[in-house]
């Protein structure tokens, strides 16, 4: 089994690790000239952003060719998933294939302009992440078929929210305070190579808005305009070194 994943603060990597198999980070292969993979089972694990698939994942899916007896896609989300998974399946069909199994998993939401991390962590027991992930894993290992559909109002809401896609220059909302010690972790966790470090930290205009640099700064020196929380999040089942290995392309 091969699983392609995209992670920023570790949620999707934690899920991919639990499902098992050969794990391939999308940022590490997305710019390859040839993306052709063959296995008995091929899966995709990614976070749902703005009711849709992250830009880097969409770019990967536009290029990749997969051959498998069974395919699946899991989207993680923290509040409302919208029609992200049905839309993913629709996009796949437009490219001549479909996922045999699609599902979504409610986890912590790390989008700081809307959510306070302390409250998100307190809600974790109610989200039954472990129980729901176990059910998804059982489905995958038994090669269950599952298709998701969205009601008309969900599709309408998704169209509105996703149309306001986060711009590539989103990082201009970030700022760095005096706690920064120029350690370079922000560069290493950025999946888009969008950060430069000289005498200070600079962001370019290719931001994924994943907030990895904000959440994973060891000094808590990076802040986001309008953030609702100074608390940060990294999935406890994933190390900083694992996220660096997944996202650093330098």
Measure Cα distances from 72 to 25, 169, 193, 200 in Å. Answer: 16, 32, 28, 42
User: What confidence score (pLDDT) does residue 48 get?
Assistant: 95
CB 74 within 8 A of CB 68: no
Non-local CB neighbours of 7 within 8 Å, separated by 6+ positions: 13, 16, 25, 47, 238, 243, 246, 247
Residue 197 in tokens? 């470090």
User: What confidence score (pLDDT) does residue 165 get?
Assistant: 61
Tokens 């972790």, residue?
185
Structural domains for the chain: 2-163 (3.40.50), 170-247 (3.30.70.20)
Instruction: Give the H or E element holding residue 41.
Output: strand 41-47
CB 182 within 8 A of CB 218: no
Measured distance CA(183)–CA(171) in Å, rounded: 19
User: What confidence score (pLDDT) does residue 164 get?
Assistant: 64
CB 175 within 8 A of CB 222: yes
Phi first, then psi, for residue 195 (nearest 5°) are -125, 135
Can you give the three-state secondary structure of 87-156, one letter per residue? HHHHHHHHCCCCCCEEEEEECCCCCCCCCCHHHHHHCHHHHCHHHHHHHHHHHHHCCCCECCCCCHHHHH
Question: How would you write the pLDDT of the chain (250 residues) with one tens digit per residue?
Answer: 999 999 999 999 999 999 999 999 999 999 998 899 999 999 999 999 988 999 999 999 999 999 999 999 999 999 888 888 999 998 888 888 899 999 999 999 999 999 999 999 999 999 999 999 999 999 999 999 999 887 877 878 777 777 766 778 899 999 999 999 999 999 999 999 999 999 999 999 999 999 999 999 999 999 998 899 999 999 999 999 999 999 998 7
Residue 137 in tokens? 């894993």
User: What confidence score (pLDDT) does residue 34 get?
Assistant: 86
Phi first, then psi, for residue 67 (nearest 5°) are -125, 120
Residue 157 in tokens? 């809401």
């Amino acid at each position: 089994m091969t699983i392609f994943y995209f992670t920023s603060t570790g949620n999707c990597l934690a899920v991919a690790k639990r499902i098992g198999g050969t794990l391939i980070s999308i940022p590490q292969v997305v710019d390859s000239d040839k993306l052709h993979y063959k296995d008995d089972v091929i899966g995709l694990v990614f976070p749902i952003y703005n009711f849709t698939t992250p830009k880097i994942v969409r770019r990967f899916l536009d290029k990749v060719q997969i051959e498998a007896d069974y395919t699946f896609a899991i989207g993680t989300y923290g509040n409302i998933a919208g029609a992200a998974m049905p839309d993913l399946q629709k996009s796949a069909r437009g490219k001549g294939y479909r996922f045999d199994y699609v599902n979504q998993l409610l986890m912590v939401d790390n989008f700081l302009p809307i959510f306070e991390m302390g409250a998100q962590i307190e809600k974790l027991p109610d989200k039954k992440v472990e129980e729901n992930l176990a059910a998804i894993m059982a489905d995958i290992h038994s090669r269950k078929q599952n298709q998701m559909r969205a009601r008309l109002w969900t599709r309408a809401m998704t169209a509105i929210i996703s149309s306001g896609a986060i711009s590539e220059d989103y990082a201009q909302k970030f700022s760095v305070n005096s706690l920064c010690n120029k350690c370079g972790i922000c560069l290493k966790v950025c999946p888009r190579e969008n950060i430069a470090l000289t005498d200070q930290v600079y962001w370019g205009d290719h931001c994924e808005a994943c907030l990895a640099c904000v959440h994973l700064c060891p000094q808590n020196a990076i802040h986001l305009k309008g953030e609702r929380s100074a608390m940060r999040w990294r999935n406890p089942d994933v190390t900083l070194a694992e996220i660096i290995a997944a996202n650093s392309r330098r």
